[in-house]
């Protein structure tokens, strides 16, 4: 087994033993059970639940998958905070860097070992939620929109890779976990979420280049409605067009590549003080 594989599996083992993993596991089980309960409760009262006959009954399947995926969008953000924020900064704060950095191991291998281990654990957590989704909605609706589901899953993978890359970049900047935690939340919820809201309010324009807007394609592959676009008058109950999917995917890939390159360079030059 290569050093890279050894590092990868060692970090996966560490993640699975961490309190963050059990916290995320508990949260995802609670969310999964709640979504299943509400789906069963409102499967025949969807228009009433949504405040009126908003959607035609012919797209009932897409509506339910859209609602489940809308909740799913926030899981990678919290998973990246729990698994990614302390990934690099903890090595400095806990003084483990004194023992790891002098080892004859390429730092890029350490960086990517942690990154893909965090990605794997996050995907496992999200996979549990998707099991709830598939079992519940297949039981209630009797069908799976395979094409939309696979498109959404592919975009979800890109979103996890991108938000995790940004989180690792932030972790490589700071030497304390607390600073990394706070900065990731500020960047996503203040810069991206609130920033997009303000731009839409002032200019009636959706900043598609923001990571949260690109990530919204995960649910928009079912119904092309972004709940964050509170000031966009046009509502499209059709799936997002292929051009939107490609654009969002490219934006998330760019975030991933740029954040990983900068994060690797910072980590490679990081010194223990």
6/113 Cα distance (integer angstroms) = 9
Q: Residue 253 falls within a domain, yes or no?
A: yes
pLDDT digits (tens, 9 = 90+) for 132-183: 999 999 999 888 999 999 999 999 999 999 999 999 998 888 877 788 888 8
- Using CA atoms, how far apart are residues 136 and 95, in angstroms rounded to an integer? 46
At residue 96 the predicted structure's pLDDT band, cuts being 50, 70 and 90, is low
Q: Is residue 273 part of a domain?
A: no
Q: Residue 146 domain-assigned?
A: yes
90 belongs to a structural domain:
yes
- pLDDT at 253 exceeding the cut of 70: yes
pLDDT for 271: 67
* CA gap 244, 212 in Å, rounded: 14
- Sign, CA torsion 241/242/245/251: negative
Q: Domain span at residue 57?
A: 3-268
Instruction: State yes or no: pLDDT of 246 exceeds 50.
Output: yes
**Contact yes or no for 63/46 (Cβ under 8 A):** yes
Q: What is the pLDDT of residue 63?
A: 86
At 235-245, the pLDDT tens digits run: 567 889 999 99
Q: What is the mean pLDDT of residues 89-112?
A: 68
Q: In this predicted structure, which of 83-87, 98-102, 173-177 has the lowest mean pLDDT?
A: 98-102
- 3-state SS, 228-269, equals CCCCCCCCCCCCCCHHHHHHHHHHHHHHHHHHHHHHHHHHHC
User: What is the arithmetic mean of pLDDT over 90-117?
Assistant: 72
How many structural domains is the chain composed of? 1
What mean pLDDT do residues 119-126 have?
92
pLDDT tens digits, residue range 186-205?
888 888 888 888 888 888 78
CB 227 within 8 A of CB 212: no
Mean pLDDT computed over 8-18: 83
pLDDT at 101: 60
| Residue 152 phi, psi dihedral angles, 5° rounding | -65, -40
Q: Is residue 220 part of a domain?
A: yes
Q: What is the pLDDT of residues 20-74, one digit of tens each?
A: 889 999 999 999 999 999 999 888 776 565 555 455 656 788 889 998 998 888 8
Report yes or no on 152 lying in a domain: yes
pLDDT the model gives residue 272: 59
pLDDT of residue 172: 84
pLDDT given at position 49:
56
Task: Report if residue 194 sits inside a domain.
Answer: yes
User: DSSP of the chain, one letter per residue?
Assistant: --HHHHHHHHHHHHHHHSHHHHHHHHHHHHHHHHHHHHHHHHTT-HHHHTTSS-S-GGGHHHHHHHHHHHHHTTHHHHHHHHHHTHHHHHHHHTSTHHHHTTSSS-HHHHHHHHHHHHHHHHHHHHHHHHHHHHHHHHHHHS---HHHHHHHHHHHHHHHHHHHHHHHHHHHH-SSHHHHHHHHHIIIIIIIIIHHHHHHHHHS---TTSHHHHHTHHHHTTS---TT-TT------SPPPHHHHHHHHHHHHHHHHHHHHHHHHHHHT----
pLDDT of 233 > 50? The answer is no
pLDDT band for position 262 (50/70/90)? very high
């Amino acid at each position: 087994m290569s050093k890279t594989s050894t590092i990868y599996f060692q970090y996966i083992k560490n993640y699975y033993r961490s309190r963050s993993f059990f916290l995320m596991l508990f949260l995802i089980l609670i969310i999964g059970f709640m979504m299943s309960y509400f789906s069963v409760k409102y499967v025949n009262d969807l228009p009433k639940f949504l405040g009126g006959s908003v959607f035609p009954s012919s797209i009932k399947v897409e509506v339910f998958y859209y609602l489940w995926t809308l909740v799913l969008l926030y899981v990678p953000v919290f998973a990246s905070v729990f698994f990614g924020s302390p990934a690099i900064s903890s090595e400095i704060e806990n003084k483990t860097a004194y023992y790891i950095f002098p080892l004859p191991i390429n730092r890029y291998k350490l960086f990517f070992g942690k990154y893909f281990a965090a990605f794997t654990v996050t995907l496992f957590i999200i996979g549990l939620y998707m099991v709830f989704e598939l079992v519940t909605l297949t039981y209630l609706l009797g069908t799976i929109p395979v094409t939309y589901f696979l498109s959404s899953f592919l975009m979800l993978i890109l979103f996890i890779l991108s938000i995790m890359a940004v989180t690792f970049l932030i972790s490589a900047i700071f030497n304390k976990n607390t600073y990394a935690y706070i900065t990731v939340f500020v960047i996503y919820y203040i810069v991206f979420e609130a920033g997009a809201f303000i731009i839409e309010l002032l200019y009636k324009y959706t900043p598609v280049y923001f990571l949260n807007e690109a990530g919204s394609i995960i649910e928009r592959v079912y119904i092309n409605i972004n709940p964050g676009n509170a000031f966009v008058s046009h509502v499209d109950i059709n799936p997002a067009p292929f051009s939107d999917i490609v654009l969002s995917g490219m934006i998330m890939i760019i975030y991933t590549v740029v954040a990983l390159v900068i994060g690797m360079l910072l980590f490679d030059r990081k010194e223990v003080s």
